[in-house]
Amino acid sequence: GAFVYGRNTGIIYNNQMDDFSQPGLSNYYGYAPSPANFIQPFKRPMSSMSPIIVTDSNGEVIFIAGGSGGSRIISSVAQVAIYNLWLGKSIRDAVDMPRLHQQLIPMEIELEKRFPVNVVHGLLARGHTISSFRGGCVVQAIERRHADELWAVSDARKGGAPDGLGYKHMTKSFQNWFRRTFQRSKEQKILEEEVKKARLLSPK
């Protein structure tokens, strides 16, 4: 991120400005500068962010994933989705599986070290240029296994763990913050009631 946070909200600001291209400079991930992505007033930078939400035929959410890691986000999130939805792997295994990345520029395939040797040999035999996976990508994902059962996974490539909690499991300080942030205060409720009464009494 930007190493800056809002004192009132506690929100940590990101480093989205880094997604813009700069004339004459390739970015960290090897992309050449693109005039379509140069900094201009009121312009948003192009981004590789690609969160995904998958629903079944009834519209019920069955899979959610998102990642961090620049241009590698797109291929990494796609591979986790393929492993889970098409190949039937658990969400844990889908996130843990070794990944590859190809972004056309430079024309090479990046592989994580754990990639199966037979696949590496097959790619080399077909004339592909192979390199080691630089920078990596971290994917967080959730799958719904049953109507009332959600499984969440945090990528071990970065450390951390998934978490979910109800209000009663929050610490006292977090409960106080939660109430201040998301719940109406007693004064707000009284004011809203007064406004409703005033509207009812006002002439049509």
pTM, to two decimals: 0.71
Confidence class for position 174, pLDDT limits 50, 70, 90: low
Residues 6 or more apart from 200 whose CB is under 8 A from it? none
Is 26 annotated among the ligand-binding residues? no
For residues 26 and 82, membership in a common domain is answered with no
Count of C-beta atoms within a 10 Å radius of residue 101: 24
Choose among 191, 201, 164, 178: nearest CA to 64.
164
For residues 124 and 194, membership in a common domain is answered with no
Is 70 annotated among the ligand-binding residues? yes
| Residue range of the domain that includes 16 | 1-46
For residues 27 and 72, membership in a common domain is answered with no
What pLDDT score does 13 carry? 87
Q: 101-159, pLDDT tens digit by residue?
A: 998 888 899 999 888 899 999 999 999 999 988 767 999 999 988 777 888 999 998 87
For residues 123 and 160, membership in a common domain is answered with yes
For residues 16 and 55, membership in a common domain is answered with no
Count of C-beta atoms within a 10 Å radius of residue 144: 18
In the sheet that holds 138-146, the strands lie side by side as: 52-55, 61-68, 138-146, 149-154
Structure tokens at 167: 């209000």
Could you give the CA distance from residue 63 to residue 148 in angstroms, rounded to a whole number?
A: 14
For residues 61 and 111, membership in a common domain is answered with yes
Is 19 annotated among the ligand-binding residues? yes
The dihedral over CA atoms of 178, 179, 184, 189, expressed in degrees to the nearest 10, equals: 170
Is 47 annotated among the ligand-binding residues? yes
Name which residue leads in pLDDT, 175 or 122. 122
Number of domains in the chain: 3
